[in-house]
Structure 1
């Protein structure tokens, strides 16, 4: 008979209030989390080039991110941090 492999805590992989969920893919969101970027305010302190160098930020992801930022009247820092 097969054993049940169900997790004791089924929600342990679900991120609560995940920044940019539904906007960009998980690899890019993980890269932002690794850099401790968890808000548009923090994101705006970086240059576009700095963010595009992170894992998961290809051309399509950057287009989605820039569109989302523009909709919220937030823009990348041109000088970087």
Structure 2
């Protein structure tokens, strides 16, 4: 097994909160695997992804806030 610092960014361990399987699949398929990526997106943009609903948005918003971050305006 390779150390995580040698893996490409898309293969590094995710710091995403547990948002449920449908939302996780939708976010991963769209390339969103790191919490920090959501600071460049609005909630509305993320909600457009099939499988992502208000509950997933709330969980991501809370995880961002815990890190002193937020969705883009």
Query: Is TM > 0.5 for Structure 1 vs Structure 2?
Result: yes
Q: Which runs of 4+ in 1 moved over 4 A?
A: none
Larger fraction in helix? 2
Give the CA RMSD over aligned residues: 1.9
**Consecutive unaligned residues in structure 1, runs of 5 or more:** 1-15
Which runs of 5 or more structure 2 residues have no equivalent in the other structure?
Answer: 1-11
Whichever of the two has the greater Rg, that structure is 1
Q: How does 1:13-32 map to 2 (within 5 A)?
A: 17-21=13-17, 23-32=18-27
TM-score (norm 2): 0.68
In the superposition, the TM-score normalised over structure 1's length comes to 0.63
How many residue pairs are counted as aligned between the two chains?
A: 62
* Contact kept? 1:52, 1:58, Cα under 8 Å: yes
